[in-house]
A and B are shown apart, each in its own frame.
Chain A
Amino acid sequence: MNATARDPVICNDWHPVAGCIDLPIGRVHSTVLLDTPIAVARRDEQTYLVWLDPEHRCRHHMPLDAAIIGPTLPATLRYGHLWTSIDEPRHPLFSLPEADEAGRRPCHPGSIGVHTGGLRAIENFLDLAHFPFVHTGILGAEPYTEVLDYTVTINDANEVVATECRFVQPQAALNATGAAEIHYIYRVPRPYTAILYKTCPLQPERFDVIALFVQPVTETRCIAHQWICILDSSSSEAALRQFQLTIFGQDKPILENHREKRLPLDPRAEMPVRADATSSAYRRWLAGLGVRYGTISASQQ
């Protein structure tokens, strides 16, 4: 709670609290955002409600009833998720133009609780070097372990962007037919949001979009909401979902074995190498934004 009070950047930002497929009409979804118990419900096709539930009176899946609705919070439905803010949002939700492109299939593979800080989950999502060891045979395989130099910049919208990322992958996607060098672009629009643009095996000139929306539950726990918007038209939704969940299931035990669950912002706290350029830029950018929630600042080290 104290950490939230100290962190206007995160408190005044939008955060995902549920995938819309997880919100049946007329039922309450009870969750926690930034140490704050909240409840979420879908009243009808169009109306979504988010409210503070400080005494945790709302049981998960209980019927929606006017008597249980507390002070409401802003609610926006976008990118397959419901977004809210525990304070006044200072910016509109980040943009993701591909979401509205024709010929793409949006899909929400699932939301997974992870016992680590959300910033660790984002950093892992931005990481190429772990593919051969954690996603062996799918996103990477020895001896193709080298991470070639790539470019990291901060764009005009003050987002971290990594371009020219390349990696040899045995099975880059469900519809891949063999090993291929895959091209990636990473984009980090907000501290707890990361988007990956990945060569599409079927249309090499276009990119599949894979996003990770992280809900910071506490400084050391999070819910990772995945959202994909890809060009694959042949695979079944169940198969796509399974593929993404398999990948994340391989990351989870690693994420839960960080000795420090919060992300250290002091560059000397851990040992980055060139392959970690995105991670280093991300940490510097978080420090520059003044993010405290979920971090270990240099002074606390």
Chain B
Amino acid sequence: MNDRVSMHPALAAYRHRWIVIARTADVPAGHLFHGRLLGEELAVWRNNAGHINVWENRCPHRGVRLTIGSHLGDQLQCRYHGWRYATGSGGCVHIPAHPNETPPARIGVKVFRALERSGFIWASTEEPSSEPASIAHLPADHHPLRSAIMRAPAEVVAAALLRHAFAPAGGTAQRIDPLTVVVRHATGQETLRWLIQPSTVDTSIVYGVHAATVGGAWLEAAQQLNASLQSLRSTIEAQT
């Protein structure tokens, strides 16, 4: 029983994908956000210029969570012994116990690939095989819905979202990749998109993106969708 869980086979299938891990609004300037990606614990933060860092939430020195540390603008400082790590590379730039020495180059935090697009932050544990296609074609005018945590594997959640459809009369729902469900109007126009984050082997987070509708009716529609998503969550969790 190792405390450091190696990646579960059910999650390994998603290793080469860009996976949504947070909404842009979840990581305001100066904040250390605690996230998850395929069972890994993440420390997510942006530097002074707004560049997003997605790091393993673990100081290499003694294994303390970096999310309890301090945001120094372009560096993150561990709370335990004050070691500092640079934005971008994650390399250790200062060891206060030996203040006049340059830290050995081999010391650094494990860094994940990250990008920010269309109001979401994406990350990948290994070299991604493609761009985050699921977000590339979002309608320009869209609204993120409230995210929902579900105690169920991503596969179960994706299947349930597809079945439940949320499609308008005459519309369709389609799973365009293992972690994305797109809902279309009878006219073929996209009205809704679900992005699924496999946090751990049995926990997933669902993010909804709702295309803007004319006449300001989107707020009411969004409220309805939030409510439907919550009831879907109860159904899924009751089954698993």
Contacts and interface: CB of A to CB of B under 8 A. Distances in A.
A255 to B, nearest CB: 9
Nearest to A134: B80
B23 interface: no
What is the predominant secondary structure among interface residues of chain A facing chain B? loop
Interface residues of A, number: 31
Residue from A257, A258, A275, A301 having most chain B Cβ neighbours under 10 A: A257
Interface string B72-102: 0000000111100000000000011111100
A133 B41 contact: no
Interface string B14-49: 000000000000000000000000000100000000
Contacts of B3: 220, 259-262, 296
B58 to A, nearest CB: 5
Given A271-B107, A296-B3, A301-B2, A259 B57 contact: yes
Given A133-B82, A259-B58, A254 B64 contact: yes
Given A146-B99, A259-B64, A254 B80 contact: yes
Contact of A270 (B63, B97, B98): B63
Contacts of A130: 80-81
A170 interface: no
Contacts of B212: none
Interface string A112-131: 00000000000000011110
Contacts of A133: 79-82, 96
A134 B79 contact: yes
B61 A257 contact: no
B62 A270 contact: yes
Contacts of A258: 62-64
Residue from B60, B97, B107 having most chain A Cβ neighbours under 10 A: B97
A235 interface: no
A301 B65 CA distance: 19
Contacts of B64: 254, 257-259
A50 to B, nearest CB: 29
The 6 A-B residue pairs with the shortest CB-CB distance in the complex, in nearest-first order = A145-B96, A275-B97, A260-B3, A129-B97, A147-B97, A257-B65
Contacts of A129: 81, 96-97
Interface string A257-297: 11111101000001111110000000000000000000010
Interface string A198-234: 0000000000000000000000100000000000000
A146 B80 contact: no
15 contacts: A133-B82, A146-B97, A147-B98, A254-B64, A254-B68, A257-B64, A258-B64, A264-B63, A270-B60, A272-B61, A273-B61, A274-B98, A275-B98, A296-B2, A296-B3
B238 to A, nearest CB: 31
A264 B107 CA distance: 18
Nearest to A143: B99
Contact of B63 (A220, A259, A273, A275): A259
A46 interface: no
Given A254-B64, A257-B64, A258-B62, A273 B98 contact: yes
